[in-house]
Amino acid sequence: MPTIRIVGPGRAGRSLARALRSTGWTVLPLLGRHDGLSSAADGVDALVLAVPDGAIPEVAAGVRPDPRTVVLHLAGSLGPEVLAPHVRRAVLHPLVALPDPVTGSERLRSGVTFAVAGDPLAARMATALGGTTVEVPAHARAAYHAAATIAANHVVALLAQVERVARQAGVPLEAFVPLARAAVEDAGRLGPERALTGPVARGDWQTVERHVRAIDPDERAGYLAGVELARVVAATASRDGLAAVGAAGIA
C-alpha cells in the first residue's frame, strides 16, 4: 500500500489521514507549521498539502522535490500548477464538508465525489476511499469551486437566516431542518425546477409582500435575494413546461 505524508494537522488533514488509514494506506505522522518541511517529500509515495489555499505555493516551494513522490493539494479552485517545482503533482478535492476528523473521515469514505487533476495517484486515492471522480478543466475550476461554496457555505448561511427569522415566531431552527433536508433531497432527485414549491412557484406575490413586511428590516435583503433566485427557477420551469406542451402538439 502507498505511504502518505500530510502537511496540515487541521480538520481536512486529520480527516484524510483517518480515512486513508482505514483503507490500509500507511499514513505517517502529520506535519505542522513548526515542523521542518524541506525533506517532507522524501521516502513517501505521496505528500498531501492540507493547508489554506493561499499557502499552497509557498509550502510547495519549501519542499525539496523528489521525482518519485506525488505532491497533492486539496483546494478546489486551484490546479496542479501551483505545486511547482514538483514534477509529479495532483489535485484531490472532496465534495464534502469536514467539520471534525471523525465525521470527516466517515464522509470521505461514504461514496462522495472527488474532483481530481494531474497525476493518476489522486484518482487512485479517491477510488480507495470508495468515491467517484470528476475531472474539471482548468478554465472551469473557479466556477466549480463557486458551486461547491454555494452548495455548502451558502446553505449554512441561509439556515442561519432561517434561525433568526424563526426566532421572531418563537420556533427553533430544529423544527425547520427536516423541511430543508427534504427540499435538498427533492432538488437532487427531481431537479430544482420540479422541486420548487412555495409562494414564488405559485406566483403568490401578496404572500411575498406580507413576508417582507413581517420580518426584521435587516433580513429583507437576504429574503429578497432568495425570492429572486426562486423566481429564476420558476421562470425556467414555466419555459420548460411550455416547451413540453408545444412538443406534444397541444394547443
Q: Where are the domains of the chain?
A: 3-136, 141-245
Which pLDDT band holds residue 52 (cuts at 50, 70, 90)? very high
Architecture of domain 3-136: 3-Layer(aba) Sandwich (3.40)
Which pLDDT band holds residue 1 (cuts at 50, 70, 90)? confident
Evaluate if residue 245 carries a pLDDT over 70.
no
Pairs from 92-96 (Cβ < 8 Å, separation ≥ 24): 92/48, 92/116, 92/122, 92/125, 92/126, 93/145, 93/148, 94/126, 94/131, 95/148, 95/151
Evaluate if residue 244 carries a pLDDT over 70.
no
Residue 203 to residues 65, 174, 231: CA-CA distances in angstroms?
60, 28, 9
Which pLDDT band holds residue 240 (cuts at 50, 70, 90)? low
Between CA 19 and CA 108 the distance in angstroms is 7
pLDDT at 75: 97
Q: What is the mean pLDDT of the chain?
A: 93
Reading phi first (left if > 0) and then psi (alpha if -120 to 50, else beta), residue 130 is in left
Determine the 3-state secondary structure of 26 from DSSP: strand
pLDDT at 103: 97
Q: List pLDDT tens digits, range 166-214.
A: 999 999 999 999 999 999 999 999 999 999 999 999 999 999 999 999 9
pLDDT at 224: 98
Between CA 17 and CA 28 the distance in angstroms is 9
Q: List pLDDT tens digits, range 134-167.
A: 999 999 999 999 999 999 999 999 999 999 999 9
* Cβ atoms within 10 Å of 4's Cβ, excluding its own: 22
Q: Which residue has the cell 434561525?
A: 163
pLDDT at 11: 96
pLDDT at 238: 73
Burial of 247 (0-12, 13-18, 19+ CB in 10 A): exposed
Rounded mean pLDDT, 76-90: 96
Helices (H), 134-216: 141-149, 155-168, 177-190, 192-195, 199-202, 205-214
Evaluate if residue 243 carries a pLDDT over 50.
no
Residue 119 to residues 41, 147, 220: CA-CA distances in angstroms?
15, 24, 48
pLDDT at 251: 36
pLDDT at 250: 42
pLDDT at 239: 67
Query: Residue 71 contacts by C-beta under 8 Å, 6 or more apart in sequence?
Result: 41, 46, 47, 49, 60, 63, 83, 86, 88, 89, 90
Evaluate if residue 47 carries a pLDDT over 70.
yes
The more confidently predicted of residues 232 and 33 is 232
Evaluate if residue 17 carries a pLDDT over 50.
yes
* Cβ atoms within 10 Å of 81's Cβ, excluding its own: 12
Rounded mean pLDDT, 228-233: 96
CATH of 141-245, one of 1.10.8.640, 1.10.3720.10, 1.10.1040.20, 3.40.190.10: 1.10.1040.20
DSSP letter at 127? H
